Structure 1
Amino acid sequence: MWKTITYEVQGRSHKTKDIPCQDKTYSNYENNVHVIALADGAGSAKFSHYGAEIAVKTISNFLNNNFDNLIRNNDALKVKIELINTLNKKLKEKAQELSCELKSLASTLLVTAIKEDHFIIIHLGDGTIGVIKNNKLMVVSTPANGEYINSTIFTTTKNSFKYIKLFKGKTKDISGFILMSDGTANSFYSNKKKELSNATKKIINWSVLLPKNNMKQLIEETFNNLIINNTYDDCSVAIITNEKHKSNIYNTFQIHEKKEFYDIKTKDPKIYLKKIKANENLLKELYKKQINILELAKKFHIKKRYLKKKLNKFSNLGLIKKENKKYKLQIQIK
């Protein structure tokens, strides 16, 4: 039901200086708990790429094993202290291994964990967390600044537990969450308006609809060709979406959104409206019953080769699924 996608890419500045990507992402599923995590290593910390990796894996594993207890525990301060103590133990072990100071492993931390109908969100430092609920895009947590301009709070900051933002809630009507580092937020989040862009909603919605591998490829292309050109910083994103919202999301698409989703190039309204209608008529036929390609070709008077190409496209968009040589619709179109 829940699907996760994560991606990080080295920024232009770090690529030029041959510095490792300091953004790290992670996702896992264990004990019926889905977790996505993202950490942005401090640019001033020599080994922050190690610290960021330890942060995302340690806290993810901690949530996998302690989710129920954390949901029941209403003492937020105690939970935050336990989280930081668990993480600091691993960071201190790494600092000893590298013979470095703890602050050399500094990073931010953004996490979302889901089990059944409950979620937990953890946010320390900058970066942004968003959610789509009832088809409305909202900011869950905004970037936190440190003592000085352009500074933030890190996992190694003294008494960092005091700065952790902790959220708990129900997943009802939520179609997806998104975590982004400050490098990515440069393209998707307005500090002035405290709002996420419409492009953010598109990414989450398409993540619900598209098969995981196809969406991962689209995100990689978008980040490598567009997002990293808007900043010198490393960029990363982590997304978790609920596939049960597929039909609802598709049916809320406006005409221009359907045109983009189907990748219809023409600007002529008569032509693209006709193409959208033809696509939906074909999909509605699949809703009535599972049907093979020969039966579809006869009914719609379409050549088998052309129809096969169209059905492959629908499959790549996550709209249909092939089972035993027959095609089954994955959404209900109004």
Structure 2
Amino acid sequence: MSFGLPCQDKTYTIHQDGCTVCALADGAGSAKLSHHGAEAVTQGVCHYLADHFDTIVHNDDGVHVKMDILGQVTLLLEGLSSEMGCAPQDLASTLLFVATKGDDFVIGHLGDGVIGYVKAGKVKVATYPQNGEYANTTSFTTSIAALNEIRLIKGKLGDISGFVMMSDGTETSLYNLRTKLLSRAILSLVKEAGRSGEAMNEPLKESLETVIRERTMDDCSLAIMARTFDTQEYLSLSAEGKAAFWEMPCTRKSAKLIAARDQLLRTMNTWRTPNMVRKQLHWHEGSFWNRFEHLRKAGLVQVKEGNLAKAA
């Protein structure tokens, strides 16, 4: 908690042309105007990644991609420092971002904080905190060695259902420095975010204030990118991914239940109303409506004016 000081953590999100980008930056405590720098780089990086996502994904030269991204950051900070009459170092911050489009993702991380993800019901760490030679030091957007220190990861979403980014203040509660593991509470956060979307902002803010805030005097930020599955994305999941989607153990028994739901979902391609689908499958009415309700609650199917509409 910084008495009399502005919050130095900033987040920003953009949705553009099928691309979603979220960025988080924690202003350097030693930089007097770092909150302005953090705000500028989160917004700038999000717009840059959304505009150039396809180029970044298909460029196999990771160093070139890093240079382009950091080049944009440098231009932003130089312009802002000129406007505010300060040195670029006065605007220093960390930088974390995640961008997704289709089945591709890009992760970038400079400095401390953590980026994690949920895959097939398991919480994993994508990038770990990066600390300097001395305690409480890290890498910043204005660091001379930023090009060597920024981490960039590209990959396919597959069974990944969500990403989390956190500043070092939140890290103290949700990341175990000794075991290098993230809290399983992230599973629930990602799951709820996928169902609630922006409606989760206020409950999440309350949790940060009451639970996480009690463990640190630092600013706390947590950004969640939760995936909403359409029909084809769901059907393309692995057996482990589908079991995690339905919150079931990956066993033979659960595989049979899931297979029945999948069969129902696929049959909806050619039949317009629920009753037409039920007659086509020759299922008992109770079994049909039980499975149908599971699909409806998961957001994979809807009924509009009596007709079926799958998640698009």
Equivalent in 204, 220, 228 of residue 190 of structure 2:
204
Quote the Cα distance in structure 1 between the aligned partners of 2:294 and 2:98.
38
Which residue identity is paired with 1:116?
G
- Whichever residue aligns with residue 222 of structure 1, its letter is S
Correspondence 1:312-327 to 2 at 5 A: none
State the AA in 1 paired with 2:77. L
Of 223, 246, 255, which aligns to 1:251? 246
SS at match of 2:161: strand
Matching residue of 2:206: 221
Does the Cα contact within 8 Å between 2:114 and 2:168 map onto a contact in 1?
yes
In 1, the alpha carbon distance for the partners of 2:61 and 2:101 equals 20
The number of aligned residues is: 264
Deviation, 1:247, is: 7.3
Stretches of structure 1 that go unaligned for 5 or more consecutive residues are 1-11, 255-280, 291-313
Matched, 1:24 2:10: yes
Q: Which has the higher contact order (CA 8 A, sep 6+)?
A: 1
One-letter amino acid matched to 2:219: D
SS in 1 for 2:246: helix
Match for 1:95 among 73, 81, 94?
Answer: 81
Post-superposition CA distance 1:272-302 (Å, at most 9, x none): xxxxxxxxx9x83862999xxxxxxxxxxxx
Match of 2:293 in 1: 287
What CA distance in whole angstroms lies between the structure 2 residues aligned with 1:288 and 1:212? 20
Match of 1:194 among 180, 201, 206: 180
Deviation at 1:216, TM superposition (A): 1.6
> In the alignment, which residue of structure 1 is the partner of 2:227?
242
Percent identical across equivalent pairs? 36
CA 1:214–1:330: 2 relative to 1, 3 Å: farther
**Cα distance in 2, alignment partners of residues 172 and 204 from structure 1:** 16
Q: TM-score, normalised by structure 2?
A: 0.77
Report 1:254-333 matches (<5 A): 284=290, 287=293
Shift in Å, 1:325: 8.9
Residues 17-39 of structure 1 show CA distances to partners (whole Å, capped at 9, x for unaligned) of x1111000011111221101100
CA RMSD of aligned residues (A): 2.9
1:178 corresponds to which residue?
Answer: 164
Q: What does residue 93 of structure 2 align with?
A: 107
Shift of 1:250: 5.7
Check conservation: 1:205, 1:249, Cα contact below 8 A.
Answer: no
Distance 1:330 1:324, change over 3 A: closer
TM-score norm. by structure 1 comes to 0.72
Paired residue for 1:124?
Answer: 110
Residues 319, 329 of structure 1: 8 Å contact kept: no
Q: Using the TM superposition, give the Cα deviation of residue 99 of structure 1 relative to its aligned residue in structure 2, in angstroms.
A: 1.1
Question: Given residue 199 of structure 2, which amino acid in structure 1 is its aligned partner?
Answer: N
Instruction: Write the letter of the residue equivalent to 1:251.
Output: W
Alpha-carbon distance between aligned partners in 2 of 1:285 and 1:154, rounded to the nearest angstrom? 51
